[in-house]
Amino acid sequence: MKELKELNVGMIGYKFMGKAHSNAYAKVNMFFDADATVVRKAICGREESALREAAQRFGWRETETDWKRLASRKDIDIVDINAPSCFHKEMAIFAANEGKHVLCEKPLAFTTADAREIVEAAQKSGVRHQVGFNYRFAPAVQVIRQLITSGRLGKIYHFRGHYLQDFIIDPEFPKVWRLDKSVAGSGALGDLGAHVIDLARFLVGDVKRVSGISKTFISERPLPEGMTGLSGRASQDAPRAAVDVDDATSFIGEFECGALLQIEATRFAAGHKNNLSFEINGSKGSVRFSLERICELQYFDAGSDEGLQGFATISVTEGIHPYAGNWWPAGHVYGYEHTLVHEVYEFVQSVANGGAASPDFVDGLKCTQIMEAVDLSIARGAWVDVDSL
């Protein structure tokens, strides 16, 4: 058995995504024959007591309360950024300039200009860089990409997708950081829509133009006393503050290949906890996927015999399916957390072998560019060409 190089990870953030990323680093060498051994070296956050608890719970060896000190450490190879969105630009550029490989959660940046600066810093430094679009790594999504690239769906006509949640539908739900534009950058579009946009690009291609509409249904909310992940709490007499991000955004568009695009992102879809779904229609068939049924995809073959046509439900759990063979026997299901293990595995491989990571910061830039074009189209009430930004 060959001796593997160790890659020391320094992670900035320790709440919802910090927990998800920690689990991925813990599992990657257990289930995958990666070309390097991942070491959870140091975890960084501002609240020292909570940070120590997270380090112990998530298996990190050391703690840091200064992210610049963490990113400057000579014993850190990878900097993982899952802090709130407003910190991504400064942290990613600083880490890249320190010669660290960078895995950054989405959205990469608030604006196209900021995203370009991040890309330039990463490319100039020569480090590997990846954005946390983990849903690319669901085995079903990988199979769908294979169906498209092999021509099984023929010429693509439509991508329609949505990401539906309901966690802020209560008007008394507090104004957590995800509802603060200065911290999150945007609401449903940046948090949820970004994932669907990336899947659309990954599966169909670049987007040419867009036209959107958005709505903030609850204009003010109580300020929180505390928050973690997707939850928060506020007292009955808490002061209220204006909500300055979108609760829901929908847009249509056109791909460079000529296919049509429809995307909806909302946090006001009662009964939907985390419903990311899409359908792609082509000249030879169609596919459907829903995150809430992550181990399945539905495939329609237009070439089937007349009278026997229909959507077939395929269990994407067999060893021949991408990533699935690293987990359990066929039919033994996997879940959300496994997509992040796959994501980390691919990034570790790119760092260990010097290859390009995917999705990289350029993909993050393209996603930001589309979101900015959507916002601009809403402000103008007109179509916006994505490449004009």
Tens-of-pLDDT digits for all 389 residues of the chain?
Answer: 567 899 999 999 999 999 999 999 999 999 999 999 999 999 999 999 999 999 999 999 999 999 999 999 999 999 999 999 999 999 999 999 999 999 999 999 999 999 999 999 999 999 999 999 999 999 999 999 999 999 999 999 999 999 999 999 999 999 999 999 999 999 999 999 999 999 999 999 999 999 999 999 999 999 988 766 566 777 777 899 999 999 999 999 999 999 999 999 999 999 999 999 999 999 999 999 999 999 999 999 999 999 999 999 999 999 999 999 999 999 999 999 999 999 999 999 999 999 999 999 999 999 999 999 999 999 999 999 999 99
Residues 106/114, Cβ–Cβ less than 8 Å: no
Secondary structure class of 81 (helix, strand, coil): strand
Calculate the dihedral angle through the C-alpha atoms of 45, 46, 49, 51, rounding to the nearest 10 degrees: -10
Q: What is the pLDDT of residue 376?
A: 98
Rounded to whole angstroms, the Cα distance separating 44 from 26 reads 17
- 264 CB-near residues (< 8 Å, 6+ apart): 161, 162, 163, 164, 248, 249, 250
> Scanning the structure block, which residue is given the tokens 């810093």?
121
Q: What is the pLDDT of residue 220?
A: 96
* Residue spans per domain, the chain: 5-134, 139-293+295-334+367-380
Burial label for 37, CB within 10 Å (0-12, 13-18, 19+), is: middle
Sheet of strand 384-385: strand arrangement = 312-315, 296-301, 285-290, 275-282, 156-164, 260-266, 248-255, 207-215, 384-385
What would the two tokens of residue 118 be? 């991040």
Q: Which of 354, 349, 331 is nearest to 28 (CA)?
A: 349
Q: Does domain 5-134 have CATH number 3.30.70.100?
A: no
Output the CA torsion sign for 78, 84, 88, 94. negative
Output the CA torsion sign for 9, 106, 17, 88. positive
Q: Which residues of 167-181 are buried (b: 16+ CB within 10 A; e: fewer)?
A: bbbeeebbbbebbbb
Q: What number of other Cβ atoms are within 10 A of residue 259's Cβ? A: 21
C-alpha gyration radius of the chain:
21
Q: Which of 203, 192, 217, 253 is nearest to 376 (CA)?
A: 253
Q: What is the CATH number of domain 139-293+295-334+367-380?
A: 3.30.360.10
Q: Do the domains 5-134 and 139-293+295-334+367-380 sit in the same CATH topology, yes or no?
A: no
